[in-house]
Structure 1
């Protein structure tokens, strides 16, 4: 598993969005360790098939990606970590909470949902998976302006950067991840039973995962801290890194306080 790492403090795992890679966390890798490097030990892995991590031959399942994260923690000598995921990364974080709850010290869910996909969403995921496989190209994602759709109206200056990450995604990984996300179960019960601090971040202009989804998470976890970032779309960590990082720091403080 390819992992970017910085800092020496509280272990913090950041899981990237689809169809990007760990490069999306560059601002957090620079800022969250703090000036002395001991505020957080930030680990940002490339998920299966993306960035520098191999896909393997397994059937699509986010449970396998969650198991990858647990193995990464083992390799890094980390017993428990604060785990944050954005969009697809949030789905993986919830799968980790289901399969390895003892590895979590805290949970951050950003621009994501805890419910399963609706039928129409599953059908669209399969359409995309079949198309990129047939063409052996992620050109469909670029043609459909996936990068622009992930960004809020005030963040379109980031389109070229996001498109570069989209273009770097292997078609096989894109198809695998779409099918894995389509197969994921509802996780509201997992959230309700998790005994660690939870934080939720959403963009007020997120057109892919509506802020209403955050309200469903809060119903399962009324103690979760909600941060709604004005003027921001789906990629809050990229679009408003200072506001995003502030939410992460508040979660780290809650974890430290016990």
Structure 2
């Protein structure tokens, strides 16, 4: 495996001036492909400093969780772009399944020599990947944090109809001629409708920032095939199905108005986990990482203080 320095990401005005100084960006060669990852060093190392490995959600990349990393200046945060998204290559062999992404986490942690004191954090689809990884590899991390976790089957319940429409959308885009399919997937109108539906804040400037982030990064995927495989994985699994195997301390951070990972499912998931802390943020939906990163970071610091390395 080889590593090479990358230029750090630029930081918009919604980030602190200190974030750029904390940032280093690198590439690592894994299984014949390039994985891009970013490291945010702590401003000052203290006994409470932990290394947090962050797994982003579907169609996102490391930019999505950047505001949360910014609110954790005492932590070392490592955020890869998952294979097939952002600046990382798609898997060269094998499909983009939950299990394959789990193997990626194992290989990535081994390559960076990340031990069991590492905190694993997953958002949305990343919560599925992280939870299934921990269930299959007990003891490799000792604390798990899930933000907007996918707590129940996506094809069941009130959201099932919208999920089935999304399945048709991704399948159609994969079967159309390539230029037409990519145009459909990267349609600014469809991305904006999605962004408007998920954003709950009434702050016009923050909404503008969120829409800009989705416009800039939501269409940064490797190809239609890997995107369809990842989407199929995202709606075919959930955290609750492995909850009994997650015997380590787990922090759930849920949005009161989340229409994708609805609150009743979060409470049911909390009841299935052997050692769980559930924090609910009022007035926010599936975009905790954009709208209320300070509150999320506060819950993370408190949780890690209660569960030291």
Name the TM-score, length of structure 2 as normaliser: 0.74
Of the three residues 7, 18, 21, the one matched with 2:58 is 18
**1:214-256 per-position Cα deviation (integer Å, ceiling 9, x unaligned):** 1111111264111111211101011111001011112221220
CA contact (8 A) 1:113 1:217 kept: no
Take 1:216 and 1:237, find their aligned partners in 2: how far apart are those partners? Answer: 22
Of the three residues 197, 216, 220, the one matched with 2:249 is 197
- RMSD (Å), alpha carbons: 2.2
- Measured after TM superposition, the shift of residue 14 of structure 1 is 1.3
Take 1:100 and 1:140, find their aligned partners in 2: how far apart are those partners? Answer: 39
Q: Which runs of 5+ in 1 are unaligned?
A: 35-39
Residue in 2 that maps onto 1:150: 198
Name the TM-score, length of structure 1 as normaliser: 0.87
CA contact (8 A) 1:13 1:83 kept: yes
Structure number having the greater helix percentage: 1
> Which ranges of 4 or more aligned residues in structure 1 deviate by more than 4 Å?
none
- After TM superposition, list the pairs within 5 Å mapping 1:1-258 onto structure 2: 1-7=35-41, 9-34=49-74, 40-56=75-91, 57-80=93-116, 81-118=118-155, 120=160, 123-133=164-174, 134=176, 135-137=181-183, 138-140=185-187, 142-143=189-190, 145-154=193-202, 156-157=207-208, 158-172=210-224, 173-184=226-237, 187-188=239-240, 190-221=242-273, 223-256=275-308
Question: Larger relative contact order (C-alpha < 8 A, sep ≥ 6)?
Answer: 1
SS in 2 for 1:59: coil
Rate the CA distance shift 1:220–1:12 in 2: closer, same or farther, 3 A: same
CA contact (8 A) 1:84 1:93 kept: yes
What is the number of equivalent residue pairs in this alignment? Answer: 251
